[in-house]
Amino acid sequence: MKKSTAVILLIASPSESPDLVYSSGFWAPDPLVYLVTPKKRYLVVSRLEIGRARTLAATSKTFPPLEALTPDDLKVPKTGRGKLDQWALCLLRHIGLTRVSVPSDFPHGIAQRLEARGIRITTSREALFPKRQVKSPVEIACITESQQAAVDAMQAAVTMIGATTISRSGTLTYKGKTLRSEAVQRCIHHVLLDHNTVCGDVIVAGGAQGVDPHERGSGPLRAHEPIIIDIFPRHMHHGYWGDITRTVIRGKATPQQKRMYNAVKAAHRASLTRIAPAVKCSSVHKASVDEFERRGFETGLLDGTPAGFIHSTGHGVGLAIHEAPSVSLSETRLKKGNVITIEPGLYYPTTGGFRIEDTVVVTATGYRQLVSCEKRFEI
């Protein structure tokens, strides 16, 4: 078999390119040029970043070795100082290369300018760093750290909601004030910070707000209505994410709310039980779909609005919050070391939203919860 000699070119900001962080190990606020050849990796960064880039290059133990360069080192002409296509062009000429592979989301304008200067560009629809999907023990430890932060924040949020008093009209009062989604979100944020993690979009959505799975939630929370709490923090130092969701009701659930919650819990369990290496992602997804259908919960348009189980069962988690493998209709087979979420949910305008989510790692024989977290419904 011919050995792959693909040369991969990335031009992106590390904060927006998990591939770049994964392969280079470098973090900086601004975009930069990164090239991987079979024998060497190259980082081209501005003067501002060269100190840290050189330190990384000198200490990196990853193969192939890393070299850090500035546009000055590459004799980029003065007119091209701030232009990343010029940095890349000078680097490619410096090494003597004219062909590169780029990811599908490579900047189109830069691709055009490089092609105009004789560089042949191949766009890859496949993952350029497929190994990213299979996590190393160090990576699993990083994700577990963020997941622990999420679990601690979840417990604080549930405790806060559980400590409210319920008025006759169903409002919730916490320490003398009406409890709002924003207050619970703030409580979550502070716990996350104490673990060096941040989550820009913490969801605390009660009642009708929970019907939209990406609605953050705002305003007063109410008793006897489902409250979806979804926390997905990123670690500020290593950049790996965690992800967890729980649904609680402060007060008393109706029989229909209980049926929905129990269906989600059963679907969650059914999908988890299906996880093992070589199992198709679609099979794990179908376990949830089947469970809902068996219990009579239909998915489809209700008065023009999607209702039922309206999203996929899960997604990979790593340096991106949503990454491969997708636990949906995808025919991809799970591998030992995949870290995925399992998060079935049910959403109906009349009853609100219910979702339960955990982040797990695929093991040799099944799966392992990264961090366990109790599931309480009525609190």
Contact between 335 and its own copies by CB under 8 A: the answer reads: no
Residue 348: beta bridge partners?
352
342 SS3 class: strand
DSSP string, 10-76: EEE-GGG-HHHHHHH----SS-EEEEE-SS-EEEE--HHHHHHHHHHHHH--SSSPEEEE-TTTTT-
Residues 151, 153, 156, 158, Cα dihedral to 10°: -70
Min separation Cβ 154 and its own copies, Å:
17
Location of structure tokens 């091209």:
80
Which residue, 105 or 298, is less far from its own copies as judged by CB? 105
Min separation Cβ 193 and its own copies, Å:
5
Location of structure tokens 């109410």:
222
Min separation Cβ 81 and its own copies, Å:
9
Min separation Cβ 16 and its own copies, Å:
5
How many CA atoms lie less than 13 Å away from 233 in the CB half-sphere? 30
Q: For residue 195, which of 144, 245, 160, 246 has the smallest C-alpha distance? A: 144
The Cα–Cα gap between 82 and 219 comes to 45
Contact between 194 and its own copies by CB under 8 A: the answer reads: yes
Which residue, 122 or 159, is less far from its own copies as judged by CB? 122
Which residue, 202 or 266, is less far from its own copies as judged by CB? 202
Q: Are 243 and 357 in contact (CB under 8 A)?
A: yes
Min separation Cβ 58 and its own copies, Å:
14
Choose the stretch contacting its own copies; rule: CB under 8 A; options: 32-40, 107-115, 132-140, 268-276. Answer: 107-115
Contact set for its own copies, span 268-327 (CB under 8 A): 305-306, 310-311, 321-322
Which residue, 223 or 227, is less far from its own copies as judged by CB? 227
Which residue, 61 or 125, is less far from its own copies as judged by CB? 125
Choose the stretch contacting its own copies; rule: CB under 8 A; options: 96-104, 136-144, 153-161, 172-180. Answer: 96-104
Peptide bond before residue 38 is cis, with ω within 30 degrees of 0 = no
Contact between 336 and its own copies by CB under 8 A: the answer reads: no
Min separation Cβ 71 and its own copies, Å:
12
Letters for 162-191 (x = contact with its own copies by CB under 8 A, - = none) are --------------------x---x--xx-
The Cα–Cα gap between 95 and 113 comes to 19
Min separation Cβ 181 and its own copies, Å:
12
Rg over CA atoms, the chain: 24
Min separation Cβ 15 and its own copies, Å:
7
Contact between 214 and its own copies by CB under 8 A: the answer reads: yes
Min separation Cβ 310 and its own copies, Å:
6
The Cα–Cα gap between 204 and 210 comes to 8
The site that binds its own copies (CB under 8 A) totals a number of residues, namely: 49
Answer for which of 110, 143, 151, 223 binds its own copies (CB under 8 A) is 110
Which residue, 326 or 367, is less far from its own copies as judged by CB? 326
For 321-327, the CB contacts below 8 A with 24+ separation are 321/232, 321/234, 321/241, 321/243, 323/18, 323/132, 323/133, 324/127, 324/132, 324/133, 325/133, 325/281, 326/281, 327/271, 327/281, 327/284, 327/285
Residues that bind its own copies (CB under 8 A): 15-16, 28-30, 47-52, 102-112, 121, 123-125, 182, 186, 189-190, 193-194, 196, 198, 200-201, 211-215, 234, 236, 305-306, 310-311, 321-322
